[in-house]
A and B are shown apart, each in its own frame.
Chain A
Amino acid sequence: MLNRKGKEIPPTSLLNRQARTDGIYAFGVQMHFSHEGKPWILTRKTSARIHQDRKYKEGEKLHLICDGEVVNNPQNEIERILPFSINRFFFFDGEMLRDYEELLEEKSSSMKILKDSIERILGIPYFRLSRNDLKQILKGIERERTTILRRLGGQEYEDLLKEFEVVVESMENLEDSIEILEQQLKDTEIEITDDKRRQEDLKEVKQYAIKRNDIERDIILLDGEIKIIDEKIKNLNADLYKAILYNTSNNILSQLDDKHNAVMEKYDKKIKLQGKLDEVEKGIKLQICQYCGTILNKENLNFLEKEKIILLKEIETVTEIPQPDTSYDAYRQTLRRMNENIINQNEYLEIDEEKNSKIHRIAELNEELNELKEKYYEKDAEESFELEDVIREKEREKGRLEGLISSQKNELQRLQEYKSELNQKITSIDKRELNILDKRIELINTLSQLFDEAISIYTEERKKDVEKEATEIFRMLRSKIDFDSLSINDNYGLSIITTTGESLNKSEWRSAGEEQLVAISLIGALNKCSQIEAPIVMDTPFGRLDLKHGGRVMTFLPKMSNQIILFATDREVRDEDLSHLKGYIKSDYTLEHIGEKIGSKIIITR
């Protein structure tokens, strides 16, 4: 089991947590598919007595059933159906876009590896195998001719034959040596590319660290802001009781007002009566009317005496409380003050909204942080110091290998010419038995040449097919009309050709989205031109595309292969986007995360 970077996934990390808790150390996967008109069932499973990677690996089992029959040597059969080396063209991972971008870098060493994969998908190696078979046949015939010549000519041709054999042997040794050196060169180039990529990643470490610090600081700031909001809420809560008492308070206020008014009315009456009594008493004492100043006679004085008695009685009735009861007034004041300082409960809504947006932002930042940490921990900072030296060493080794290959190829060329001279001498010997073999050798040489030319022509034609298909797809996906077509180079790298005929390579595109469109165009074209038919599985294919381009890619998908399996998030493919795939969706499933222990379950959405 390999991860998206081609590294092995430890089997222990694949076991369901619940299963582990329950002590069930077994897991597996079964795939049902149709191929060549037959139903197939592929099962991979493993079990172990203890939770250890080694034990799981020992317990690995692979079964393949075709049309009800168990297939012997299932791994070989899987390799026949879909060779591992070309799986990248059927399993497209949007998050691994950089690998696809490598497809577009003409100078990339990885391109050379990918070139082999591409040629294999186009069926080119079959011609090469045939040509190599011819070479083997040629060698056999040459050996046979030498044997016959030695028998017929005796000592006469011995020197010539020995010379020929030495040349052939030297050539074979050289060819073997060149093959080994070329493989070493290829390996070295791959290593250099990997090291350079790692070096590039290590440079990113610093950037990751800075970005991580930025995000962590943002999270701390947001946490602080949330704490301030919580304090605000608590402060509001401390006064919330007043808002809740508001209606009750209003009702009570009106009651208290009534009571206060009643008390004040009594008091006012008493004051008035007291004033009147004072007037009457003064009038009696001075015997002068206090209103008009006339002297009062006896009858008038008697009247005032009677009025005084009445007033005293009335005052007595309102003197239960000598001073007005101000406690009601104090309660009223308290409640009035409270009513003037009521909090608005809508403030909570605004604060909640603010708090929720901050919590949401923190969740986003944490997600970003986790992704960043994942990337960050993949890098080994210590490597950065050593990597440069390693790369330089490997570059030197690469140069040495290239020099060796070049000199050996020159030597091979020289031997080839010498062999031709010797061959001419041998073919000039007029013996009937030899003549037949000579004709065969000539035929095989002609055929070999023919195959060489055929490989070249076929490769060129297939390349043109890929270019044509890729251009057609690209035109469906592009948004810039002045991007006219795609041009393919010897390494299957692609350039954009503008309407004015200008060729743009990757460095001039500058847009990650356009790189992805070109990569999708190439992959789509390769699938169309492929000798192998298989479904395409795409994971997060629209991650770097805007809505318009995402929609175009979606519209194109049904044309890409007979069956497409899309793994997309709800952000990548929204409900309204499904209109692009209308009529083409066979099944729709949703992966729902249940919990840490149980994991996820698959729900049939459609």
Chain B
Amino acid sequence: MSSAYGDAITLPASDQAKSILRQLQTKNLFNEQRHAWMLGAALGIATGQVHTAGNRGTFQNINSLDPEGIFAAIMVGLYPDLSPDDRRKKLVDHAEWGIREIYRKEEIGTLDFSTLGK
């Protein structure tokens, strides 16, 4: 799957996204921060939304964030013409948006996992 993202072995996240991921875990919604990241990425991809602003630092290993290569398959399918680096950046953009969206819904009390993404 490395061809989907090139030679990179980690994915980055913004400080704000990292803070949100910590909070979502503290609120007992997720066992691990990476689960919230994966849900955020899926949400961003499914809705086509991205968040590009903000400085990003190393977050977690790609194999942790995409253990089954599902995001790689999806990203190659959605963005076949992008370079691996751009594809990786795009995935992170989707995740950054999705993470914020989950947090926003949680804050206003409308986070409903049974209807999320529908």
A contact set with B: CB distance below 8 Å:
230-231, 233-238, 240-245, 247-249, 251-253, 255-256, 327, 330-332, 334-335, 337-338, 345-349, 352
Chain B residues with CB under 8 Å of A256's CB are: 73, 77
B contact set with A: CB distance below 8 Å:
1, 3, 28-32, 35-36, 38-39, 41-43, 45-46, 68-70, 72-74, 76-78, 112-118
Quick check: B45 and A248 within 8 Å, CB to CB?
yes
Taken together as a complex, chains A and B put the C-alpha atoms of A242 and B39 apart, in Å, by: 8
Quick check: A237 and B113 within 8 Å, CB to CB?
yes
Closest A-chain residue to B38, C-beta based? A241
Given A230-B28, A242-B42, A338-B68, residue A236 in contact with residue B77 (CB < 8 A):
no
Chain A residues with CB under 8 Å of B78's CB are: 248, 252
Closest A-chain residue to B35, C-beta based? A238
Quick check: A335 and B74 within 8 Å, CB to CB?
yes
Quick check: B114 and A346 within 8 Å, CB to CB?
yes
Nearest CB in chain A: distance from B31 CB, A: 5
Q: Counting chain A CB atoms within 10 Å of each CB, which of B1, B70, B112, B118 scores highest?
A: B70
Nearest CB in chain A: distance from B27 CB, A: 11
Chain A residues with CB under 8 Å of B45's CB are: 244-245, 248
Given A245-B45, A245-B70, residue A349 in contact with residue B30 (CB < 8 A):
no
Q: Counting chain B CB atoms within 10 Å of each CB, which of A247, A331, A348 scores highest?
A: A331
Quick check: A236 and B38 within 8 Å, CB to CB?
no
Quick check: A241 and B41 within 8 Å, CB to CB?
yes
Quick check: B113 and A240 within 8 Å, CB to CB?
yes
Chain B residues with CB under 8 Å of A247's CB are: 46
Chain B residues with CB under 8 Å of A334's CB are: 68-70, 72-73
Nearest CB in chain A: distance from B52 CB, A: 20
Nearest CB in chain B: distance from A239 CB, A: 9
Nearest CB in chain B: distance from A99 CB, A: 47
Known pairs A251-B77, A327-B3; list 13 more (Cβ under 8 Å): A233-B113, A237-B36, A241-B39, A242-B70, A243-B117, A245-B70, A248-B77, A248-B78, A249-B74, A252-B73, A332-B73, A334-B70, A348-B114
Chain A residues with CB under 8 Å of B76's CB are: 327, 331
Taken together as a complex, chains A and B put the C-alpha atoms of A251 and B116 apart, in Å, by: 19
Chain B residues with CB under 8 Å of A346's CB are: 114
Nearest CB in chain B: distance from A353 CB, A: 11
Quick check: A234 and B74 within 8 Å, CB to CB?
no
Among A240, A251, A255, A335, the residue within 8 A (CB) of B70 is A335
- In the assembled complex, 7 residue pairs joining A and B whose CB atoms fall closer than 8 Å, in A order, are A234-B30, A241-B39, A244-B39, A244-B117, A252-B74, A255-B77, A346-B114
Closest B-chain residue to A251, C-beta based? B77
Quick check: B113 and A244 within 8 Å, CB to CB?
no
Nearest CB in chain B: distance from A137 CB, A: 82
Taken together as a complex, chains A and B put the C-alpha atoms of A345 and B114 apart, in Å, by: 5
Chain B residues with CB under 8 Å of A243's CB are: 117
Chain A residues with CB under 8 Å of B70's CB are: 241-242, 245, 249, 334-335, 338
Quick check: A237 and B35 within 8 Å, CB to CB?
yes
Among B46, B112, B118, the residue within 8 A (CB) of A245 is B46
Chain A residues with CB under 8 Å of B46's CB are: 244-245, 247-248
Given A252-B77, A252-B78, A345-B114, residue A240 in contact with residue B39 (CB < 8 A):
yes
Nearest CB in chain A: distance from B86 CB, A: 18
Nearest CB in chain A: distance from B75 CB, A: 9
Taken together as a complex, chains A and B put the C-alpha atoms of A338 and B69 apart, in Å, by: 10
Nearest CB in chain B: distance from A74 CB, A: 54
Q: Counting chain A CB atoms within 10 Å of each CB, which of B29, B73, B115 scores highest?
A: B73
Chain A residues with CB under 8 Å of B116's CB are: 240, 244, 345
Chain B residues with CB under 8 Å of A252's CB are: 73-74, 77-78
Taken together as a complex, chains A and B put the C-alpha atoms of A331 and B42 apart, in Å, by: 17
Quick check: A237 and B68 within 8 Å, CB to CB?
no
Taken together as a complex, chains A and B put the C-alpha atoms of A244 and B28 apart, in Å, by: 21
Closest B-chain residue to A331, C-beta based? B73
Given A244-B42, A247-B46, A331-B76, residue A238 in contact with residue B114 (CB < 8 A):
no
Quick check: B42 and A337 within 8 Å, CB to CB?
no
Nearest CB in chain A: distance from B51 CB, A: 17
Nearest CB in chain B: distance from A339 CB, A: 10
Nearest CB in chain A: distance from B35 CB, A: 4
| Among all A-B residue pairs, the 6 with the closest Cβ atoms | A252-B77, A241-B42, A244-B117, A348-B114, A331-B73, A244-B42
Given A237-B29, A237-B30, A237-B35, residue A248 in contact with residue B74 (CB < 8 A):
yes
Chain B residues with CB under 8 Å of A352's CB are: 114
Nearest CB in chain A: distance from B67 CB, A: 10
Taken together as a complex, chains A and B put the C-alpha atoms of A349 and B116 apart, in Å, by: 12
Chain B residues with CB under 8 Å of A337's CB are: 68
Nearest CB in chain A: distance from B15 CB, A: 23
Taken together as a complex, chains A and B put the C-alpha atoms of A249 and B74 apart, in Å, by: 6
Nearest CB in chain A: distance from B68 CB, A: 6
Chain B residues with CB under 8 Å of A335's CB are: 70, 73-74, 77
Chain B residues with CB under 8 Å of A230's CB are: 28
Closest B-chain residue to A349, C-beta based? B114
Closest B-chain residue to A252, C-beta based? B77
Nearest CB in chain B: distance from A4 CB, A: 40
Nearest CB in chain B: distance from A155 CB, A: 107
Chain A residues with CB under 8 Å of B29's CB are: 233-234, 237
Chain A residues with CB under 8 Å of B1's CB are: 330
Taken together as a complex, chains A and B put the C-alpha atoms of A525 and B106 apart, in Å, by: 60
Chain B residues with CB under 8 Å of A332's CB are: 73
Among A234, A244, A348, the residue within 8 A (CB) of B43 is A244
Closest A-chain residue to B40, C-beta based? A241
Chain A residues with CB under 8 Å of B32's CB are: 238
Chain B residues with CB under 8 Å of A253's CB are: 77
Chain B residues with CB under 8 Å of A348's CB are: 112-114
